[in-house]
Structure 1
Amino acid sequence: MAKKAREVEINSREDTLPLMGPDVRPWPVTPPPSPEEVAAVYARRKAEEFGKWCEDNLRIDYARGKPEALQGVRVLSCGQWRMGHKFASGLLSELGAELINVEPPTGDPLRKLSPFGREEYMLEDKNGDKCGLDFIHELRNAYSVTINLETEKGRELYTKLAQHADILIEEYPPGYMDNLGIGYRQLSQINPKLIYCWIGEHGQWGPMKDRVSKYGQWMLDPFGQAACSFIHNTGFPEDLLPRGKGGDPTRSGVWFADYVAGEQTAVNALAALFWRDEFSGEGQFIETTAAEALMDILDFDITWYGFNKSIKARTGGWDPNLNQYAWNPCKDGYMMIGGQTDRLWYRIGMCIERELPIFGRLIHEDPLLKEMAARNALQALTKTYTMTAMWLRNINRVEAEEKLMEYEIAAGPLLYIDEVAEFPHFKYRPWVNVLEDEQYGTLMYSEATTAYQMRTPARVKWLGRPLGHDNAEIFMKYIGLGQSELRELKEQGVI
């Protein structure tokens, strides 16, 4: 049943694509598999007992009544345009930390960011104010307060909030907060236990600390990608495509460097929290740069260069270490096939040559391709993937996966985002989910990746809130301000 539903989903994309405009797409289009269907899968895999045990202990549906790992931890987050501090603080808030996001009274400009600049792709709150989807999706479980840090009273408010914070994450230009008198050096004097995290591109010290941020201090993610060779080795090589059609580097459209820096910042903050509470009793200053964080996950590029001066070239979707190990076009999209061992390599060939006998003659009988290392030469990759694409071009993804699975081959289709939303596996867990937001209505989102914890699972309680939505609650709770004082501060442009 699940396989049949998936086939309908993949083969009927035109019927399930979201309509242009503000209408909310109905979800799910098809129901998730039933527990009985999933139990049958467990039985086929001889994992009835363990599969059921995992489900009983890890399902997100059961998370609400469980404790939170970071309950009682307070996080203060601030910055504009950037995604690193939002992602880092959001990860901590999903684990139970109380998160206060600070914006200027005019709002973070990221609130106005929308695909193609189209207002109809923004969400409207109960007051009629519109906000971009990027901002809403990443401000998870965050209380929204506004403070004008350029004013003396605003800095006083911010300092008083920081007195109550365990972790502070900021992503302003190098030295900006220190120059205002509200950086780590000043705040740690009044809150010695404060863990202060700064996120940037190249760092706040060193010869290039101001090179980029002086002129483009808010939107720096592309420079982080550029500074660590990520952009250089992403894209198609020149000799695989017709002249003028390839060979250029490709930047990730997603703010990848900022997200990676945010992830590393959250890890650093948790390590510092453990050190403070278990050993030193003191907070500390932490710096994370996007360029260096992204460099850390670029495979062996830097080690390879140090070994024999090699500069890794652009290889598109091909892996220079493995053949086959890439996606190839098929009738209705693309198919990923993995042949990283001799066993898988020959099984792929056995599967393909049933319907394309020439594959066996040209690939399996080629002496160059007998050894795994030789298969990774450019001409070997080109020959192998050309023949594989000849087979795939006449079948769709579901058919290709079924045929390859018969030979116990690692394979899977490249899914479009509408298929991800309707993927039976993700709907059943459910990793793709919806919540009813009091401000924005029904919102579809991806669950926290730290949600699958047995005893203290992460959870998403709400997504981004309207600007300054929580001013009264937060300022009254932590600073003791009354309604008349809040009104006065608002009239003065402080909040």
Structure 2
Amino acid sequence: MTREPREIEIKSRADTLKPRPWPVTPPPSREEVAKVYAKRKAEEFGKWCEDNLWFQDSWSKPEALQGVRILEVGLWRLGHKFAASLLAELGAEVIKVEPPEGDPMRKLTPFGREEYMLADSETGELCGLEFIHEMRNKYSITLNLETPEGQKLYKGLAARADIIIEEYPPGYMDERGIGYRQLSKINPRLIYCWIGILGQWGPMKDRVSKFGQWMLEPFAQAACSYIHNTGYPEDFMPRGSGGDPTRSGVWLCDYVAGEQAAVNILAALYYREEKSGRGQFIEVTGAEAMMDILDFDIAWYGFNESIKARTGSWDPNLNQYAWNPCKDGYMMIGGQTDRLWYRIGMCIERDLPQFGRLIHEDPFLKEVAARNALQALIKTYTLTAMWLRDTNRVEAEEKLLEYDIAAGPLLYIDEVCEFPHFKYRPWVYTIEDEHYGTLLYAVPPQAFQMRTPARVKWLGRPLGKDNPEIYQKYFGIGPRMQEVLKEKGVI
């Protein structure tokens, strides 16, 4: 896909790139998609799904967590932000509590470039895209938790809250008299979720470094062996250029921990409402959340002390279950059964007869277990790459689908945003934000619920935007008293 040059517009504080128009091409019409249903003999069910899950109808439906109040407190990290975002999308009232100077993540931007930040339309205050993305449906207030007056106001908010999601260093809130032990006495129904890396207790608990910051997300990836088994072994690469482990390009542990935190919180909310009438304390760590999705690695070690090695994109269980380089990118091909594997061979053999000869000459390739050996993987993927090197993704997909093979291209992010299927459902969408203009975002996966779908009402929030409303609503503190508190450094 061609990438059009972007016009540069000079602003007072930064060179701001104009957003790319979206969509470049319109999504398919419902009439066009109806023909697909008809072709696949799924007219009735396809129409039923659309009638009940159509995204544009979600705004007229109720919200599952309407009336639930949540406080979100923490700096830098994404776990608490993501957990709170998921619940905010489901209708909870989420108040993001920041220090008067703001969460440092507001200033996080690729390569430190201010032109990749967005300016508030009213104040011109710059904010990073990461922070804006995780302020979905949230209110922003400022509050200095280091001051007695700030701690008193925080206790007042906690007394009215259903849930607190916190990600400060272990014991930080407790030392100030505003942790779960103290707040649960004020509000016994409070559900309190702390998110971290290794935990608040135990010999390797999260700890503060001499530079004043607590352990960050990559330490979780390192601690659970996720980094160790991600990447290529030395044998697969030219000497000196391979063998190193690779961490995820996104803050994966924080996101997985945030998802697990949201699940824990919803379970605790159900238990409180239906069983006990009381809240509880929850701890979620990034390392443990990742260990829960490490496939069979732990069980394999327990079985015979095996330590799963790095295999790049190759799956140690299956031959032909990986992405392969092709003329214009990469293709994912799945051959997880004998039927599929032989179909892949038949497809490739049309253009590359060597593949058929390979199967005939090597009897081990005829059996699922035997063809997963390293030498068999090397033979298979070498010939697959030879076949794909002069074939683009569209051509390769068409050829593979003729044989009913599980296959698909690896998409770049611009292709994801313009992919007809993703635009139609949609998986990506735009929102007209009152502070930051037109923004493209990923539609929440909870949006496709029949009766209580999630939705994004706004993205981003200037620092302290909701101080007037929240302090008036919960404490009756008007504008004049708020100015006094501001001058004193409390808010």
**CA shift digits 1:70-94 (9 cap, x unpaired):** 1110111010000000000000011
Counterpart check, 1:71 vs 2:59: no
- Amino acid paired to 2:318: L
- Amino acid paired to 2:19: V
- Amino acid paired to 1:47: A
Q: Could you tell me whether the CA contact under 8 Å between 2:65 and 2:87 is conserved in 1?
A: yes
**CA shift digits 1:28-48 (9 cap, x unpaired):** 111101111101100111000
Counterpart check, 1:226 vs 2:214: no
Q: Could you tell me whether the CA contact under 8 Å between 2:444 and 2:455 is conserved in 1?
A: yes
Pick closer, same or farther for the CA change 1:175–1:128 going to 2, 3 Å.
Answer: same
Counterpart check, 1:295 vs 2:291: yes
Which residue, out of 24, 33, 56, partners 2:28? Answer: 33
Counterpart check, 1:314 vs 2:310: yes
Counterpart check, 1:167 vs 2:163: yes
Which residue, out of 115, 124, 130, partners 1:120? Answer: 115
Q: Could you tell me whether the CA contact under 8 Å between 1:70 and 1:92 is conserved in 2?
A: yes
Q: Could you tell me whether the CA contact under 8 Å between 1:272 and 1:283 is conserved in 2?
A: yes
Identical columns (%): 76
State how far apart, in whole Å, the 2-side matches of 1:17 and 1:340 are: 42
State how far apart, in whole Å, the 2-side matches of 1:440 and 1:309 are: 53
Q: Could you tell me whether the CA contact under 8 Å between 2:207 and 2:214 is conserved in 1?
A: no
> Scaled by the length of structure 2, what TM-score is found?
0.97
State how far apart, in whole Å, the 2-side matches of 1:49 and 1:364 are: 46
State how far apart, in whole Å, the 2-side matches of 1:49 and 1:202 are: 50
- Residue 253 of structure 1 and its aligned partner are, at CA, apart by 2.0
Counterpart check, 1:450 vs 2:446: yes
State how far apart, in whole Å, the 2-side matches of 1:306 and 1:51 are: 45
User: Hey, which bits of structure 1, 4+ residues long, moved more than 6 A?
Assistant: none
Instruction: Give the number of aligned pairs.
Output: 483
- Residue 482 of structure 1 and its aligned partner are, at CA, apart by 1.1
**CA shift digits 1:232-288 (9 cap, x unpaired):** 111011100001111001111211111111000000000000000000000000000
Bigger mean CA deviation after superposition, 17-26 or 177-186: 17-26
Which residue, out of 447, 459, 474, partners 1:463? Answer: 459
State how far apart, in whole Å, the 2-side matches of 1:478 and 1:407 are: 64
Matched with 1:179 is: 175
Matched with 1:422 is: 418
Matched with 1:475 is: 471
State how far apart, in whole Å, the 2-side matches of 1:490 and 1:160 are: 18
**CA shift digits 1:103-161 (9 cap, x unpaired):** 10100000000000000000000211000000001111000001011111111111111
Q: Could you tell me whether the CA contact under 8 Å between 2:197 and 2:206 is conserved in 1?
A: no
Matched with 1:9 is: none
State how far apart, in whole Å, the 2-side matches of 1:357 and 1:404 are: 16
Q: Could you tell me whether the CA contact under 8 Å between 1:16 and 1:418 is conserved in 2?
A: no
Question: What SS class does the counterpart of residue 420 from structure 1 fall into?
Answer: helix
Matched with 2:92 is: 97
Matched with 1:441 is: 437
Q: Could you tell me whether the CA contact under 8 Å between 1:231 and 1:250 is conserved in 2?
A: yes
Pick closer, same or farther for the CA change 1:298–1:358 going to 2, 3 Å.
Answer: same
Question: What SS class does the counterpart of residue 37 from structure 2 fall into?
Answer: helix
Matched with 2:47 is: 52
State how far apart, in whole Å, the 2-side matches of 1:245 and 1:238 are: 8
Question: What SS class does the counterpart of residue 17 from structure 2 fall into?
Answer: coil
- Residue 430 of structure 1 and its aligned partner are, at CA, apart by 1.1
- Amino acid paired to 1:265: A
Q: Could you tell me whether the CA contact under 8 Å between 2:170 and 2:207 is conserved in 1?
A: no
Which residue, out of 146, 153, 160, partners 2:149? Answer: 153
Counterpart check, 1:408 vs 2:404: yes
Pick closer, same or farther for the CA change 1:263–1:291 going to 2, 3 Å.
Answer: same
Q: What is the RMSD computed on CA atoms of the aligned residues?
A: 1.2
State how far apart, in whole Å, the 1-side matches of 2:159 and 2:449 are: 31
- Residue 375 of structure 1 and its aligned partner are, at CA, apart by 1.2
Q: Could you tell me whether the CA contact under 8 Å between 2:207 and 2:215 is conserved in 1?
A: no
Which residue, out of 114, 137, 143, partners 1:141? Answer: 137
State how far apart, in whole Å, the 2-side matches of 1:426 and 1:212 are: 42
Matched with 1:8 is: none
Q: Could you tell me whether the CA contact under 8 Å between 1:213 and 1:220 is conserved in 2?
A: no
- Amino acid paired to 2:2: E
- Residue 218 of structure 1 and its aligned partner are, at CA, apart by 4.0
State how far apart, in whole Å, the 2-side matches of 1:259 and 1:166 are: 22
Pick closer, same or farther for the CA change 1:72–1:213 going to 2, 3 Å.
Answer: farther
Which residue, out of 172, 177, 196, partners 1:200? Answer: 196
State how far apart, in whole Å, the 2-side matches of 1:365 and 1:57 are: 54
Q: Could you tell me whether the CA contact under 8 Å between 2:169 and 2:208 is conserved in 1?
A: no
State how far apart, in whole Å, the 2-side matches of 1:336 and 1:47 are: 26
State how far apart, in whole Å, the 2-side matches of 1:119 and 1:219 are: 26
Q: Could you tell me whether the CA contact under 8 Å between 1:80 and 1:218 is conserved in 2?
A: no
- Amino acid paired to 1:360: G
Matched with 1:281 is: 277
Question: What SS class does the counterpart of residue 268 from structure 2 fall into?
Answer: helix
Matched with 1:14 is: 2
**Where does 1:356-435 land on structure 2 (aligned, <5 Å)?**
356-435=352-431
Question: What SS class does the counterpart of residue 431 from structure 2 fall into?
Answer: strand
Q: Could you tell me whether the CA contact under 8 Å between 2:93 and 2:138 is conserved in 1?
A: yes
Q: Where does structure 1 lack aligned partners over 5 or more consecutive residues?
A: 1-12
State how far apart, in whole Å, the 1-side matches of 2:3 and 2:309 are: 40
